[in-house]
Amino acid sequence: MLFIAEHTHPASECSMTMPAGKDMIKDLFSEKHISSAGIQLVGAYMSCPVDEGAYHKGYFIIEAPDERIIKDFFGPMKVEIREVKPFSEIAKTL
């Protein structure tokens, strides 16, 4: 199954601005953690405006057997998860 996981945080709280946060991100998205989680990270995209009052958004395209595995993968990091299908499949039903 294919999913989109979306993560949002205020720019002022970005993990990438702190050494411990950078290490957490490196560990989370390491090849070892991804493979042991039983997911395939198809794509990852970030929107990180420089404006400190703005929000950063991360979009992760993940192939996994179910949503629970994705939640386990992200751990305490809050993500909104939605199952998605290729538009070509949906268009066939129109």
Domain that holds residue 55: 2-92
Predicted confidence (pLDDT) per residue in 12-53, tens digit: 889 888 899 999 999 999 999 999 999 999 999 999 888 888
Please name which of 64, 48, 66, 63 lies closest in space to residue 7, comparing C-alpha atoms. 48
> Mean pLDDT for the chain?
94
Specify the length of the chain in residues: 94
Of all residues in the chain, the percent with pLDDT exceeding 90 is 83
Query: Residue 57: which CATH number?
Result: 3.30.70.260
Does the pLDDT value for residue 78 go beyond 90? yes
Report the domain count for the chain: 1
Report the predicted TM-score, pTM, of the whole model to 2 decimal places. 0.88
Q: Could you give the 3-state DSSP secondary structure of residue 16?
A: helix
Q: Tell how strand 80-84 and strand 55-63 pair up.
A: unpaired
